Amino acid sequence: MNQSQSTAEVSGADSGSQPLLALKSFSKHFGAVEALKDVDLEVYAGEVVGLVGDNGAGKSTLIKAIAGVQPPDSGELWFQGQHVKLATPQAATALGIATVYQDLALAENLDVVANLFLGQELGNKLPGMHVLDETAMEQRAVELLSSLGVTTLRSVRTEVASLSGGQRQAVAISRSLLGEPKLVLLDEPTAALGIVQTEQILKLIERLRDQGLGVIVISHNLANVFEVSDRIAVLRLGRMAATFKAEGASREEIVASMTGADVKERATEETPL
């Protein structure tokens, strides 16, 4: 997958291909706290970028800024070569940026189909009301889930309350794809999942990349990040500490830039993760 693009991007040199998303010196304050400071980040189509960092490094703040939930105080956001301002989540969605939060935000009392289409239900507009087209939604849901290889669901009419954690994550990710986004932001997609379920979600992420989407994955789990990412961006104390090509980077290097310790120091002195 577009390995050449990623390589070109790592050096920061513009080799003619345009990044899908480019952040330029994003900053965000909360009172006296600098949550983000001059953060630059680029994501290409067909690329998975792992965003790692210790707690409080600014990962969530950065995701929220890209998702339009919490716009940055300063900085520029370029999407597909256009300078855009994202003041609301709706603006980000309309542009083609989908976000899957850690808490998934599914309505447990509704079935899979209803959750997939929540807020973007298919139907027929009649005067004064919007009548749901359950058949079309169910058909589309079945197609979408099978195209993503989500096969563990017994029925798309199952209530989300009775799904496993991995199934819920798969539903949440699938939902983000309904609007046919170009960039998907995943916040801790494998947290609280078992080994098998984690593998399934990682496979799902690879499918997103294969379909040509740009993906940003936030995760605490370095092993997962290595497995799925093309590049790994490290945030530390609100700054972009370093960006690595996943292939060839070592776990030690990443941990060192997460914690700010020197690699050599780390060899002698145990840095807690």
Partner 1 sequence: MKADATIGTAPAEPVEGFSVGRALRALGRGELGSVRVLVGIAVIWTIFQVSNDRFLSAVNLSNLTLQIAATATISIGVVLVLLLGEIDLSVGAVSGLAAGVMAVLSVQHGWPPILGIVAALAVGLAIGFFNGLMVTAFGIPSFVVTLAGLLGWQGALLFVLGDTGSVNLPPSVITDLTTTFFDSVVGWVLAIVAIAAYAASVVLARRRRAAAGLELGGMTGAIVRLVFVAGGIVAAVAILNADRGVPLAAVIVIVLMVVFTFITERTRYGRHIYAVGGNQEAARRAGIRINWVKISVFTLASTLAAAGGILAASRGLAVNQQSGTGDVLLLAIAGPVIAGTSLFGGRGFVWSALLGAIVIGSISNGMDLLALDSDVKFMITGAVLLGAVTIDAATQRRRATAT
Site residues, partner 1 (CB under 8 A): 89-90, 93, 101, 103-111, 114-115, 118-121, 123, 129-132, 134-136, 138-139, 142, 154-155, 157-159, 161-164
Name residues whose C-beta falls within 8 Å of residue 226's C-beta, 6 or more positions apart in sequence.
50, 232, 246, 249, 251
Shortest Cβ 109–partner 1 spacing (Å): 4
Between residues 179 and 212, which has the closer beta carbon with respect to partner 1? 179
The nearest distance, CB 169 to partner 1, in angstroms, is: 14
The amino acid sitting at 201 is I
- Least distance between partner 1 and beta carbon 23 (Å): 22
> At its nearest, how many Å lie between partner 1 and the CB of residue 191?
18
The answer to whether 255 and 55 are in contact (CB under 8 A) is no
Compare residues 138 and 230 and give the one whose CB is closer to partner 1. Answer: 138
- Separation CA 190–CA 211 (nearest Å): 21
Helix or strand run (H / E) with residue 83 = strand 82-84
For the record, the structure tokens of 240 come out as: 């972009």
Contacts of 120 (CB under 8 A, 6+ apart): 178, 179
Least distance CB 105 / partner 1 (angstroms): 4
Measure the CA–CA gap between 211 and 202, rounded to whole angstroms: 14
> Do the strands 48-53 and 214-218 form a parallel or antiparallel pair, or are they unpaired?
parallel
**Quick one: tokens of 149?**
């290889």
Q: Are 95 and 51 in contact (CB under 8 A)?
A: no
Least distance from partner 1 to the Cβ atom of residue 167, Å: 10
Q: Which is nearer to partner 1, 172 or 205 (CB)?
A: 172
Q: Which is nearer to partner 1, 135 or 151 (CB)?
A: 135
Closer to partner 1 at the Cβ: 110 or 261? 110
CB atoms within 10 A of CB 128: 5
Contact (Cβ atoms closer than 8 angstroms) between residue 199 and residue 145: no
Closer residue to partner 1, CB minimum distance, 118 or 148 = 118
Residue with tokens 């507009």: 125
